[in-house]
Amino acid sequence: EPPKAQLLAYDKDPSARAPPRLAFCILQFAGLAGVVETVCTLEAGREPSKAVVSWDKIHGVHALASPDDCFEAEAIAKADAAVQKLLKERYGVTDLDLVCCDPWSIHASPVDVRAIQCFLYLKTWVGIALALLWTLDTRSFTGNALIDRWGQVGVYSAVAVADSRCGLMVRGHVARRMVHGHPLDPLDTAEIRLAAAICRAYAASEGVEGEIRFNVISLQARRRGWHNWSFRLGFNYREGVVLHDVRYASRAVMHRMSLVEMAVPYADPREPYVRKCAFDVGDYGLGYCTFPLTLGCDCLGHIHYFDATLSNSKGEPVTLPKAICMHEEDTGLLYKHVDFRTGHPESRRGRRLVVSHIATVVNYEYAFYCAPCGRLRCTTRALLDPVDPCEHTHTRNLPPPHTHTGEDALAPDHGTLVGPDVNAQHHQHMFMARLDPAVDDEEGGRGLVVKELDVETMPWDGLGNPYGNGFRTVETALTSVHQAQRCIAPEKGRVWKFVNPKVINPVTHTPVAYKLVPAAHPPLLALPGSIICKKGHFATRQLWVTPHNDRQSWPAGDYVFGAKDCTGLAMWTREDAPLEGADPVVWYSFGVTHIVRPEDFPIMPVEVCGFVVKPAGFFTRNPCLDLPADKNAASVDNHSGGANGGACCGSAANS
């Protein structure tokens, strides 16, 4: 994306020349233990040497696992002779079509190369508890299949592969189209091919030989509107859906809003589960894991679908149909009142506009629902695959290193038995949302103040609280980065407000604001000092606030795959920087601690978590009073022969 200042300037004056249309690319090729970050312009007719704006080598990092990486890992694991031999000798398995190899990033990896671990299981009710490491050597594009027998790692064979990891991301998605269309349109297929060609040509001029792989990110950024609300919808390989410039009747509410990281730590401290803690946003990318939605099943009602254009490992554009669903849905009764003197009723049904996509990350489905209008609601629904060797693995009849001394196999310490010898391990799903509020601030929220609001009981006081029933709210401005590292407090009714001190509500005589209403959930449960706690630093508290910085997008770091430390929030918050006038960005961590039930097997019902950002003195009255007195004509009374009934919304009574 372009720098925030450029985007704000362009939004203020769309007639001005848009920023140049650029692409930010992440490349990997043989001979480099790291990645190349490059920015290139997509103006037509430029020579590759002049189209490349920057070309920077980043050493000691690993790019995320693309879909091609995952498919290659499974194919090579199943083709490895040592794996086939072990499957036959230990389990009597010779039909490899029955074998599934779920590719996982490796937490606390015992190897220093870019690697994927595969958990193998059969397409039956019983999973094979076998961990396999598949390593991708990015320096030579060769790999080693490693079999981990509960902690004993040995190299069995070397198989030639092509590492399929490169990223090409839109740096300037507000830039001018080369041929036609709105300046905020996504990259088209021609631009994707152009960017890939520029990178290949420039790499050749730098003496790079051999194959280069790409993953191309395209953002859809066309403005949408609904019932006084408008927003710009984006989509990329890493975050999935992104909401930009959310407004009500032209009043700014949120500059940008998205889900930027996840961590899924498991409770079992034994091998190989100690190496299971996927950071699904940074390790795989939610956009990459998005699959087409189905009308009438995933999305109900009158639907508007959006396609998404990403790329494969060759830099070729790939269009994912029906990646995003947008529709209006009924939310139940919004308000109702009956004048008990006259019997006159007034009621309105609630409605909201929902933008959603579903990401399949190996064994989980994550359904993300954003309601950008009214209350800004973000809801995540986690669903589990019917066969999950990572959750459902044997507790008995396994090699000794797998069983804790003194542990009762019928009552496992770190999970729940959901079937004969099948232990479903407890775990957490920790999400992080990045919120860039802009409440009535056309400078993108630069002047906002984040405040913490608690409800407290008043002490006994013969004058101020003589009957002991008094309570009040206490607001505290969070004026520095360290002060703004906060935890939830449900017993205090704690919320966090985004306040604009320059705009006063004429009714309350207080500054306009929106408030973040958190959910009640524990933070990361791993011990301080553990690798999980270091890498998942963002989940140790629920709220963080930092000054805006265009380079700070990923709370666990730019390159999470294979990392052992947090290079995001942990680094950004070392200094106690002031927040006043610093354009505060809010990072909110939320999640689910999944203590597994037998009812979650063999396929888990949806588990819901999320948060709400809603007005707190932004309006002078209920903004829903303008809703029409509509009545659902399809509803019938079964006891009156299918009649639709009388007036309920006041229209007939008023007439």
Spell out the domains of the chain, with CATH numbers in brackets. 67-141 (no CATH), 218-389+414-460+470-616 (2.70.98.20)
Instruction: Report whether 262 contacts 268 (CB < 8 A).
Output: no
Instruction: Report whether 165 contacts 215 (CB < 8 A).
Output: yes
* Both tokens assigned to 616: 């707190």
Give φ, ψ of 499 to 5 degrees: -110, 135
pLDDT at position 258, please? 95
- Rounded Cα–Cα distance for residues 553 and 260 (Å): 7
DSSP class of 138: T
Which secondary structure element, helix H or strand E, spans residue 280, and what is its range? helix 280-283
Q: How many CB atoms lie within 10 A of CB 349?
A: 17
> Which one, of 161, 167, 146, 141, lies nearest residue 66 by Cα?
167
Instruction: Tell me what percent of the chain is helix, strand and coil, each rounded to the nearest 5.
Output: 15, 40, 45
- Whether 280 is catalytic: yes
pLDDT at position 410, please? 79
Q: How many CB atoms lie within 10 A of CB 652?
A: 11
- Rounded Cα–Cα distance for residues 166 and 462 (Å): 70
- Rounded Cα–Cα distance for residues 585 and 444 (Å): 10
The residue ranges of the chain whose pLDDT is under 70 are: 124-188, 206-223, 374, 376, 381-407, 641-655
Instruction: Report whether 511 contacts 616 (CB < 8 A).
Output: no
- The beta-strand segments (E) located in 46-201 are 52-59, 99-105, 114-122, 130-137, 142-148, 153-160, 167-170
Q: What are the distances in angstroms from CA 295 to CA 300, 371, 381?
A: 7, 19, 18
* Both tokens assigned to 312: 């494969």
Which secondary structure element, helix H or strand E, spans residue 327, and what is its range? strand 317-339
β-strands 304-311, 153-160 pairing: unpaired
pLDDT at position 178, please? 27
Dihedral through CA 104, CA 107, CA 109, CA 115, nearest 10?
A: 30
Burial class (CB in 10 A: 0-12, 13-18, 19+), 398: middle
CA angle 16, 18, 23 (to 5 degrees): 175
Q: How many CB atoms lie within 10 A of CB 389?
A: 24
Q: What are the distances in angstroms from CA 528 to CA 324, 425, 523?
A: 38, 21, 12
Q: What are the distances in angstroms from CA 603 to CA 291, 383, 391?
A: 19, 8, 11
Instruction: Report whether 535 contacts 566 (CB < 8 A).
Output: yes
Give φ, ψ of 76 to 5 degrees: -75, -35
Amino acid identity, position 395: T
pLDDT at position 223, please? 67
Which secondary structure element, helix H or strand E, spans residue 200, and what is its range? helix 189-205
pLDDT at position 647, please? 57
> Which one, of 56, 311, 55, 63, lies nearest residue 187 by Cα?
311
Instruction: Report whether 450 contacts 443 (CB < 8 A).
Output: no
- Whether 364 is catalytic: yes
Amino acid identity, position 577: A
pLDDT at position 541, please? 97
Using DSSP's 3-state secondary structure scheme, residue 233 falls into strand
- Rounded Cα–Cα distance for residues 264 and 430 (Å): 6
Instruction: Report whether 593 contacts 607 (CB < 8 A).
Output: no
Q: With the C-alpha atoms ordered 12, 13, 19, 21, is the resulting torsion angle positive or negative?
A: positive
- Rounded Cα–Cα distance for residues 504 and 500 (Å): 8
Look-up of token digits 């590492």? 163
- Rounded Cα–Cα distance for residues 219 and 184 (Å): 9
- Rounded Cα–Cα distance for residues 380 and 579 (Å): 30
| Active-site residue (options: 280, 283, 583, 600) | 280
* Long-range contacts from 341-348, C-beta under 8 angstroms, 24+ separation: 344/650, 344/653, 345/647, 345/648, 345/649, 345/650, 345/653, 346/629, 346/649, 346/650, 347/648, 347/649, 347/650, 348/624, 348/627, 348/629, 348/649
* Both tokens assigned to 407: 């542990």
| Active-site residue (options: 10, 237, 364, 559) | 364
